Structures are given as C-alpha cells and as structure tokens.
Chain A
Amino acid sequence: MGAKKENSDDEMDEKVKKYLRGEAANLEGLKDKKLKGQLAVREDLYGKSAKTAAKIEKWLLPSEGGYLEAEGIEKTWRIKQESIAREVDILSSRNQYDIVLPELGPYSLDFTSNGRYMAAAGRKGHLAIVDMKTLNLIKEIQVRETVRDVAYLHNELFFAAAQKKYPYIYNRDGTELHCLKEHGAVLRLQFLKNHFLLASINKFGQLRYQDVTMGEMIGNFRTGLGRTDVMQVNPYNGVVALGHSSGTVTMWKPTSAVPLVKMLSHPGPVSSLAFHPNGHVMATSGRENKIKIWDLRKFEVIQTLPCHAKTLNFSQKGLLAAGTGSFIQILADFSGSQNYSSYMTHSMAKGYQVGKVLFRPYEDVLGIGHSMGWSSILIPGSGEPNFDSWVANPFETSKQRREKEVHSLLDKLPPETIMLDPTKVGTVRAAQKKEKPTKKEIEAEMEAAIETAKDTDFKKKTKGRNKPSKRATKRREMISRAKRPFLEQRTQEHETSRKKQKTEMPKSLQRFVRQKAT
C-alpha cells in the first residue's frame, strides 16, 4: 500500500514537472526586495497551477489512450491489421481501408491539424479532399499537370498544391485562388501554423517563405546544396529542416540567409526526415539502411536502427513510422529513454510502393500514400486521446472555425520569433564580454582626443581680453583635459597591477616588490 502511494506520488511529480515548463527562477541573487517578493509570489502561483493541471490530467480528461498488448508468446509486431479489426468496434474498423487508384500515380497526403480533413494529391494531377469523419469525398479535381506535393493551410478551406511549374492555392470547392509564380517548380511544401508561412523548396534548391495572409515574400534563400525533396518543419520551434544529397541536414529560419545548423548525418543522401512533436528528437534515414535518432539539444545521435526508410513520421504520442517498398514498420520507445524498438509492422500488397506515411492527429490511424492510391491502418496508442477545443477541435462547427481563424490571425507570430530555442523569448540576453582594448588602441585613442582638443577654435574675445598668453594657457588646459581620463586609467591599472603583485608575494618579501616599468 505504501509502495503504491509512492508510485502515484512519483507519477504526480512527473506530471507537475511537465506543467512547470522548466526550472524555477533562482531568486537568491536578487537585491531588490520588492521584486524578490513579487517573483516569489509568482513562483508559488506557478507551482499551484502546475499541481492543479496535473490533477486535471489525472482525473478529468474524458478519453483514454489506445494500447496494444500482446498476451503470452505473441509479439506485437506480428499482429496483423485484420486481427485488430476483429477486436475493435465498428466505428474504428471503418478507419482501416485501401483506396486503389492505380492510374493516377503515387499519392501524397496531408491532414488538417484537427485530423478531420485529408487532402490527397496523385502525381498525375488528381486532387481530392476527403472528410475523414464521414469518409465523404468533398471535392476532387483533375489539374492535368504533375502534382508533387499538397499542403493544407491554416484550415480545411485552403490547400496548396505543388504543380509542375508553380504551386497553386485552391479553395475547398476546388477553385484556384492563387498561382504563386515566385516559387518556381516546387518539390515540397510545408506550412508553419503559428506564423502563417508557406515554405517551399524547389528544383534548384531555393527555399522560399511566403506569408499567406498578405502574400508577402518573407525570405528567399539559395541553399547552395543542390536539389532536394526532403523537407520538414519542426513543430516545436518553426525551423525548417532540409536533408541534402550530400548527407547533411540543414536547418533554416526565414530571417537569415545562412542556415542555423548544418549537420552531417549520413554518408550518403538523406532519404527522409521527421521531427518528434516535443521538438527535441529528430529521426533521419539515409540510403545506407540506417535510421538515426538525434537529440537536438546536444546534436548527438541517441540511437541507430538498422532499418530502411524512404519515409518517416512521428505520431503525437512519439511512435515512429518508417515506410519502405511495401512494408511499414512502427517503432515505439516504451521505456521513455529514447530507446526505440519495433512495435508493429504492416505489409501491403506487393507492388505498392509507399510514398508518404502520415499519422492522423488525435486518432490512432496511420495514413499511407502509395503508388496505387492511399490506405489507412490502425495503430493503437499513436494519437492523443484528449484534444483541446481551443487548439484543434475535430468536431468544429463552421462558426467555431471562423472564430478560430480570426483568433489565430490575431496571434500570428512575426517571422523573427523562429529560433532554435523558442523559450528564449522574453529572457535577458547574456552580456557580451567586451575585450579590453590593446595598448596601441589606447594610445591611438589618446592621440585622437589630443588632436581634436588642439583643433578647437576659441571665441575671439575683444577689449584686450584676447592676449596670446591667455590663449596658449587655455589651449594647454584643453589638451590636458582631453588627456586626463587616459592618464587616470593608466594610474588605476598601475595600482591594480601593483596590488596584485603585492598579494602574490609572501608577506615577508612584500617590501621588496618593485613596480615593474611597463
């Protein structure tokens, strides 16, 4: 009974830590008593609110997460989708299907942030919007051009398709709204939700950021590392990561022409990239059949997995989906210490080439875009069971969607807030240590000050007050006044060096300390 209580206490502590969002401020060094008192009260309030949030998480959340547990000698990675469908209710088994559209090319998918709508784009020009709750096809259009990628903008009303020559923005009704000519032939599109920025990488390796609210082009950078079609946005801090054919992964922000980070991750080209929702873990895969799990705080490899992956994606709960050929492997880290191991597998019919895997937000579903259409399989435990209506609401009405659009536009972040560590906003920048000027520099400064003092013109006084001797004394006075701060500095330095010398010598020898000629 005592051990159980201890366990639950530890659990609550963990939860409270999560809600505290970092360490408490150290108030020891503060001399300002008023400020110290105010900050102490605030820290107390934070502690209380974190505890309340932990209690709410424990008792008041409406849904529980999914899970898959094998019994006996069964292993979870041998369990097939059919056996899962048998055990699960009808509503969930509807989420398992295969849509076969063989003539229209490999499919790329994107979900809206609440997981309700899906946009599918076939290479041969097929664009479709599907309502995933009712599995209703809302609109499909044929643009009669190659479409390489599709991305939803801030809600289900707008999506962007990367077509043969330029990306286009379409409405939910299939009306073409904009043709983004500046981007060129785009290979990949990504939308940064908080900043309303559409990022694109094109055939010539040029990265562009465009603000979709006003249409302003924020950044246009030549990566200089060639053509690449591996691009992902880190949801935690908004940086865009590109994987190049030289094996380097570069991270970009819209306000600098030079990448923030350039890391060599694989000996060959990087084939795919994925970010964990907490922003600290990244998975990359290269052609050498290895998946590397990186810790982005230290930029170190945590784990290397011998697994081939043409496409990677992290789910909301941290499951990693790796797809290659017609085989999909789901990796999970059970211990919480970033040690990924195989959780589930899925083989599709031979001949289906997996193009893109994407977890559906807030559902235990994995969407797969492949060469013969798209499929959806059940992965228990991958989605976040409890949504927050103010963040993303799968049951949104149109009124709520309009309100949310307005509020998110009001909260639109300026592009300067994209940085590697987003918690630095509002903190104090560490004081830069200025180097002491060298002796030569000091001399030069003194000379310059003397020259300016010599050059000053004096007022021409009349009535016998303009005697040359007086003028000369005044000039000498100005020069000595200009010299004074430098001489004071010199004497101060002498004193400090002498004091240092004195303290370094043992006491009996201090009277012999001679000031060295500098």
Chain B
Amino acid sequence: MKVKVISRSTDEFTRERSQDLQRVFRNFDPSLRSQEKAVEYVRALNAAKLDKIFARPFIGAMDGHRDSIKCMAKNPNYLKAIFSGSDDGDIRLWDMASRRTVCQFPGHQGAVQGLTVSTDGSILVSCGSDCTVRLWNVSDANLADSDNLSDNSAKPQAVYVWKNAFRAVDHQWDGDLFATAGAQVDIWNHNRSQPVNTFDWGSDTTISIRFNPGEPNILATSANDRSITLYDLRMSSPARKVIMRTKTNSIAWNPMEPMNFTAANEDCNCYSYDARKLEEAKCVHKDHVSAVMDIDFSPTGREFVTGSYDRTVRIFQYNGGHSREIYHTKRMQRVFCVKYSCDASYVISGSDDTNLRLWKAKASEQLGVVLPRERKKHEYLEAVKNRYKHLPEVKRIVRHRHLPKPVYKAANLRRTMIEAERRKEQRRKAHSAPGSIVTEPVRKRRIIKEVE
C-alpha cells in the first residue's frame, strides 16, 4: 500500500526571525476563489470612488507677470524649469518646484510672441511684435549661478532686427537652425543676423510653426488663410498644404510617431493628421466649446494637452475622440498656452490672468516616491477599473466631472445644434433618391482641399 498524506512542517511555511519578511504562497487555481467577477466589480467600484476622492490636480499658480502670458518654452535638459513670455515683453524663467521666478530676461519692447529653447539647452530664442529676435544664453551653469538671487536679469546674447513682426518661433530638434513665423517663414542660424532662407506660399501671415521631432528638416506651419503647410528645408519650395474651413491656432508633432501631428483649430476641435496623407484627418478630437489655442504632446506620445479660449485645459488620448480630463479654475481666464512637462507628470498652462498654473497630468496620482507595493496596487486598481468601466455604476463615477456653468451650457447648446443638423441631414437623405446625398466623414468634412 502506498500512502501519502499532506503534512506541512511549520518552519517551511513561517518565517525564521522576526526581522524576516512573512512568507507568501500563491496558488492561482480558480477553484479556490469563488465569485471572482463580482469581487472584481466591487473593487472597480471602490477604485473609481477612491480615484475621485484623491483627484486634486491643481498644484499651484506661478504669479509674477504683469500681462497675459502668450508663450512658454521647455528646456529639455532641465526638468524643473519653464520659460514664459508675456504681452508686455517680460520673459521669465520659473522654477516649478518652488514656483518662483529664477531669472528675468527683459528687453522686448512689445509683446513676446514666441519662445523656444535649443535642444542642447544653451540658447533661448524669443521673438516679438517689435520685429526682433533675441537670443539669450541659458546654459545650466548660468542658471545655477542665478539660483540664489531671486530677481536676476540677464542680458541677451544677440538681438536681430528684421522687417516684420514675428508671430512664432521654433528650434530644430537636431540641428542649429531655428525658424520664425510672421509675414513669411524665415530660417535663421544662431550666428547670422539675417535669415538664411525664406519661404513664402500664400499671402497671409503664418501664426504658428513647429519642427518635426523625427526629421530635422521638416516643419509644419499654420497661417491665417486657414491652411496648414508642410515645408522641407532641403527643398527650396514648400512641400504640401491643406486648407481647412477654419484657422489652425497651433500644431504639435507626436514625439513618438513623428509622421503624425495634431492641429488645434478655431472650430473647437483638434485634428490629428498623418503628414503623408493630408486629405483626411486621422482623428477628430472634440470636446472644447470654444477655440483651441494651444496644444502640446506628452513625451510618451500617448496623450496631449490643449488649452482653449473657453478657460479650460483638457487632456486627450492621442487616438481618442473625447477628452480624458478637464481642468478649470474660477481664477483661470482664457488659456493661451499649455505645455506638458518633460517627465509626463505635469501640465503647465499659461493664461490671460497673468498666471502660470501647474497641474498634475493624472489627477489622482500620488506624487513623490511611490513604494513598489503601492505602485503595484495602483496599477491593479487602474486595470480593474478599466475592465469594468463600461458598466453603468462605474461609468457614472469615472465619467463625472464638474464643469463650470458657462462651459456646461455651451456644450449642451453645441450638442443640440449638432444633433439638429444631423437629424436634418438624415431626413434629407431619407426623402431623396438613394445615393444623391453623400455624407462625408467628419474627418474629411472640415478640409477644403489639399494643394501640392
């Protein structure tokens, strides 16, 4: 007879000393656990509720400017810093951790329209409506020196004067050139006081400009004639142009998928395009109720943040239609510029009320050092909440956001108008010969034509 009985010796299953960790044994057999789905559902519900309890996205406001903030720039080598330029010519460098001004760069006579930092973090380029481009030296050593003096001001390294007022500036990701947008698109070198190259297609001012993160010679601009133009620096003429129904205020390239860019438009939507195929938008992001003023991608390439004229900041998924998050405050007026911080954890918005505001990218995220056990727990709760977020009770809690009354009413109005338009279209279709009325998808509808 062969017989064996379960016998567990205590020392194999308990710890030896009180300083040791407790031993944990796992058996993943589903027969040991009953009603798994109901338990997961209860956990998802509790996770959604806890998320809402811990959702405190606003960290602080940086006060100091005396006029509305028009532009911001990130220094890719220095995580804590952000540059901001305002309408009275004041450029400041802020330390986000202490939310104070480190250094000021006075000099511009009119509004500062664009700010950008070179990729090695040494030069800050600013352009303004006083027809000047100023270069400032902002290498790390320089900044560290001025750390202890709160009201330091620096002298520009170079000032270049040119013919027209400038509207925007951007620096090449991998090179020595920067481009300015104004009456025409000018390409400059750091050392030359005159633009190296000029592009001009169309008769209207260019209002925003962005270099491609992947291809250092490609840049996208948007102009007042409702067009988005792509330029290639190696060719002497512009590459492609797409004309939409309304003006694009800002463009941002996806840093992880450099062939895609998203355009922030006046008609309250953001349109994601594939630069190779401009006849149709890849995705339309709808949620704002007023013109979208600025857009910036997260370094992960999975989300982007937009700031709009309707006094809200929204965070969208790169491939999603509706926003994941909305931030608003009573004191925050029209948002003119937004930036996503380089570690993908914070969002900075600059608005009309002369303040820069620092927000968390994930509203209920725990800041600071997170223990591995805590992190695992957060990841589990996130996963279980996503698994059940389509069920009504969980969905109601996850989706719930407080909107300011004007935004809420405007959104309702827009919805009614769009619904009415849609119903009319449906009825026209139903009462006319089949095939005579063709509905275009929204992705195509807002594009008038594409020009080579």
Contacts and interface: CB of A to CB of B under 8 A. Distances in A.
B46 A410 contact: yes
Contacts of A21: 30, 36
A279 B34 contact: yes
A476 interface: no
Contact of B42 (A56, A83, A413): A413
Contacts of A53: 28
A414 B42 contact: yes
A304 to B, nearest CB: 25
A90 B4 CA distance: 12
Interface stretch (B19-27, B226-234, B395-403): B19-27
A3 interface: no
Given A61-B27, A413-B42, A378 B34 contact: no
A417 B38 contact: yes
B32 interface: yes
B32 A388 contact: yes
Given A91-B9, A388-B26, A425 B41 contact: yes
Given A61-B27, A388-B28, A194 B6 contact: no
Q: How large is the interface on B (under 10, 10 to 19, 20 to 34, 35 or more residues)?
A: 35 or more
Interface in B306-334: 319
Interface string A365-406: 000000000000010100111111111111101001000000
Given A380-B4, A388-B32, A391-B32, A425 B46 contact: no
A92 B6 CA distance: 8
B98 interface: no
A48 B10 CA distance: 34
Contacts of B5: 66, 84, 88, 92, 95, 364, 378, 380
B388 A426 contact: yes
Nearest to B30: A21
B433 interface: no
Contact of B6 (A63, A74, A390, A412): A63
Interface string B80-98: 0000000000000000000
Contacts of B431: none
Contacts of B25: 62, 386-389, 393
Contacts of B26: 56, 388-390
Interface in B359-394: 387-388, 391
A363 interface: yes
B37 A422 contact: yes
A412 B42 contact: yes
A87 interface: yes
B13 interface: yes
A380 B6 CA distance: 7
A305 interface: no
Nearest to B33: A391
A363 B8 CA distance: 9
Nearest to A384: B32
B35 A417 contact: yes
B276 interface: no
A391 B391 CA distance: 27
A70 interface: yes
Given A62-B25, A387-B25, A389-B25, A70 B46 contact: no
B39 interface: yes
A422 B35 contact: yes
A54 to B, nearest CB: 9
Interface in A78-124: 79, 83-84, 87-89, 91-92, 95
A236 interface: yes
B382 to A, nearest CB: 15
B14 interface: yes
Nearest to B320: A34
Interface in A162-193: none
Nearest to A362: B6
B39 A19 contact: no
Contacts of A68: 1-3
Given A53-B28, A387-B25, A394-B8, A380 B39 contact: no
Contacts of B4: 64, 66-67, 88, 380
Nearest to A388: B27
B376 to A, nearest CB: 13
B3 A19 contact: no
A63 B5 CA distance: 11
A71 B2 CA distance: 7
A21 B9 CA distance: 33
B27 A386 contact: yes
B440 interface: no
A278 interface: yes
Interface in B25-76: 25-43, 46
A378 B33 CA distance: 25
B7 interface: yes
Nearest to A318: B31
B12 interface: yes
Identify the interface centre among B5, B27, B391: most chain A CB within 10 Å of its CB: B5
A237 interface: yes
A18 interface: yes
A379 B1 CA distance: 14
Interface string A42-59: 000000000001001100
A67 B3 CA distance: 6
B232 to A, nearest CB: 32
Contact of A400 (B22, B36, B42): B22
A65 interface: yes
B28 A57 contact: yes
A69 interface: yes
B45 to A, nearest CB: 10
B350 to A, nearest CB: 33
Contacts of A278: 31
B39 A411 contact: yes
Contacts of A385: 6
A236 B10 contact: no
Interface string A407-430: 000111110010000110110000
A382 B31 CA distance: 15
A380 B1 CA distance: 12
Nearest to B39: A411
Given A91-B9, A387-B27, A426-B388, A236 B1 contact: no
Interface in A131-147: 133
Contact of A92 (B7, B28, B33, B319): B7
Contacts of B28: 19, 53, 56-57, 388
Identify the interface centre among B25, B37, B46, B388: most chain A CB within 10 Å of its CB: B25
Contacts of B35: 194, 236-238, 413, 417, 422
Nearest to A428: B390
Contacts of A269: none
A331 to B, nearest CB: 18
Contacts of A386: 25, 27, 29
A79 B39 CA distance: 43
Instruction: List 7 A-B pairs, minimum CB-CB distance, nearest first.
Output: A417-B38, A425-B37, A388-B27, A69-B2, A386-B27, A92-B5, A364-B5
Given A21-B30, A413-B39, 10 more contacts: A68-B2, A84-B3, A88-B7, A92-B7, A194-B35, A238-B34, A391-B32, A400-B22, A413-B42, A425-B37
Interface of A: 18-19, 21, 34, 53, 56-57, 61-71, 74, 79, 83-84, 87-89, 91-92, 95, 133, 194, 235-238, 277-279, 362-364, 378, 380, 383-395, 397, 400, 410-414, 417, 422-423, 425-426
17 contacts: A21-B36, A63-B6, A64-B4, A66-B6, A70-B1, A74-B1, A87-B1, A364-B6, A380-B3, A387-B32, A389-B23, A391-B32, A391-B33, A392-B32, A395-B10, A413-B39, A417-B41
